[in-house]
């Protein structure tokens, strides 16, 4: 049985703790946070689990095999380094780190010590995303022309990162997983309307271009009246809308499209043939993505599976984020992307 510790019990940590505690293949040994009141609350929920305000009591704990780090992104590298150097497997929440150089350092330590390094790109473990992957790979949608993501809401404004670093990792990791490839070029535009004194963008539009001509567009915002989590996939055969807010119809597949008449001799004979058929709503597994994600981490540690969101996957996402923000600083100039081999 894998013994686990968790560092960080703020917004996301309690969700990870809840799912870890429900897994029969692991034991939650200890949790750490700087806020004693949070620890007191969690101690009442999980009385068998140790609590501490000193994270080194987890990194140095002789019985702990793996550590989950769910702290602000600016702390990921230093805490991750300490975990790996203590000889423990590491799960880091997204984004992996605040620079690609720090990501590389963590990967090097994990490789040197033969440790698992996983990044929390949770949507890769969500049944709707896996169903979309299945539909794309099977050819059900035809050739994918473009994808449009919208991830907007009012808040939560961050002090240590802009909206691109906060929200776009979800969509970047998803599109790389779904396409089985990463973009070759990125351009972005953004603006800071609320935290102008800090220069932190709260709205951004990110355009990704893939080597085969496919396009993806990502709209992220902390300044929108509605909470929207939607992605539209337009293919040559069918189209698909993924609405993560919807309770019962997260995926809708539309038998819609446009065909060009294959043979015509004159311009007058040229026609576009519009198709409008049925809407299909596939059945989806209802397992919580975080439970699947945590179980996958344990399976990888025990050698039963290969990481779907490894440190190298996390590095590629950070490289896209860096170039997107560089493009914003350069007024939307397209930036070529080159990844580590």
- Mean pLDDT calculated for residue range 242-261: 91
Coil vs helix vs strand at 83: helix
71 plus 140 within the same structural domain: no
Name the band, by pLDDT with cuts 50, 70 and 90, for residue 86.
very high
Q: What are 328's strand-pairing partners? A: none
How far is it, in rounded angstroms, from Cα 152 to Cα 238? Answer: 26
218 pLDDT more than 80: yes
As a whole number of angstroms, the distance between CA 112 and CA 50 comes to 30
pLDDT at 270 over 80: no
Same domain, yes or no: 150 and 232: yes
Asked if 199 and 263 sit in the same domain, the reply is yes
| 159-202 pLDDT, tens digit each | 999 999 999 999 999 999 999 999 999 999 999 999 999 999 99
Do 31 and 39 form a contact (C-beta atoms < 8 A)? yes
Same domain for 46 and 139, yes or no, is no
Domain boundary (80, 115, 150) is at: 115
Mean pLDDT of 200-226: 98
pLDDT at 268 (0 to 100): 55
Name the average pLDDT for the chain: 96
Show the tokens assigned to 174.
């998803």
- Say whether both 30 and 128 belong to one domain: no
Q: What is the DSSP string of 110-176?
A: HHHHT--EEEE-GGGGSHHHHHHHHHHHHTTT-SEEEEEEEEEEE-PPPSSS-HHHHHHHHHHHHHH
Three-state secondary-structure class, residue 78: helix
Helix, coil or strand: residue 219: strand
User: Domain end: 115, 140, 164, which one?
Assistant: 115
pLDDT at position 57 is: 98
270 in the same domain as 136: yes
Asked if residue 140 and residue 280 are part of one domain, the reply reads: yes
By the 8 A CB rule, do 172 and 151 touch?
no
CA distance 277 to 293: 36
Phi and psi (nearest 5°) for 315?
-60, -45
Q: At what angle do helices 311-329 and 100-113 cross, to 10 degrees?
A: 170
Q: Which residues pair with 240 in a beta bridge?
A: 233, 253
Nearest Cα residue to 337 out of 123, 127, 142, 181: 181
DSSP secondary structure of 275-286:
EEEEEE------
pLDDT of residue 261: 67
Model pLDDT, residue 341: 75
Q: Do 181 and 41 reside in the same domain of the chain?
A: no
* Same domain for 152 and 270: yes
> Same domain for 102 and 133?
no
Output the pLDDT for position 264. 60
Domain encompassing residue 73: 2-115
Domain assignment present for 184: yes
pLDDT on residue 272: 73
Confidence band, pLDDT 50/70/90 cuts, at residue 33: very high
Pick the more confident residue, 296 or 160.
Answer: 296
pTM to 2 decimal places: 0.95
Is residue 266 over pLDDT 80? no
């Amino acid at each position: 049985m894998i013994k686990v510790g968790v560092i960080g019990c703020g917004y996301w940590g309690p969700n990870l703790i809840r799912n870890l505690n429900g897994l029969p293949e692991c034991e939650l040994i200890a949790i750490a946070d700087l806020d004693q009141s949070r620890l007191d609350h969690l101690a009442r929920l999980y009385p068998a689990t140790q609590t501490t305000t000193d994270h080194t009591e987890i990194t140095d704990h002789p019985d702990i095999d793996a550590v989950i780090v769910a702290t602000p992104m600016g702390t990921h590298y230093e805490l991750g380094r300490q975990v790996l150097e203590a000889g423990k497997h590491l799960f880091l929440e997204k984004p992996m780190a605040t620079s690609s150089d720090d990501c590389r350092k963590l990967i090097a330590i994990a490789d040197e010590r033969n440790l698992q390094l996983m990044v929390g790109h949770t949507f890769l473990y969500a049944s709707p995303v896996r169903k979309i992957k299945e539909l794309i790979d099977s050819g059900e949608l035809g050739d994918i022309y473009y994808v449009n993501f919208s991830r907007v809401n009012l808040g939560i404004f961050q002090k240590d990162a802009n909206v691109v670093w906060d929200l776009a990792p979800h969509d970047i990791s998803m599109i790389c997983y779904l396409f089985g490839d990463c973009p070759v070029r990125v351009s972005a535009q953004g603006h800071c309307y609320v935290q102008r004194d800090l220069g932190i963008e709260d709205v951004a539009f990110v355009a990704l271009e893939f080597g085969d001509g496919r396009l993806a567009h990502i709209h992220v915002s902390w300044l929108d009246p509605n909470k929207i989590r939607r992605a539209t996939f337009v293919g040559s055969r069918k189209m698909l809308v993924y609405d993560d807010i919807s309770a019962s119809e997260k995926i809708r597949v539309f038998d819609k499209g446009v065909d060009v008449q294959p043979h015509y001799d004159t311009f007058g004979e040229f026609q576009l043939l519009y198709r409008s058929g049925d809407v299909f709503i596939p059945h989806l597994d209802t397992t919580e993505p975080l439970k699947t994600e945590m179980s996958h981490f344990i399976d990888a540690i025990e050698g039963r599976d290969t990481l779907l969101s490894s440190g190298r996957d996390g590095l590629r996402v950070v490289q896209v984020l860096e170039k997107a923000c560089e493009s914003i600083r350069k007024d939307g100039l397209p930036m070529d992307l080159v990844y580590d081999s």
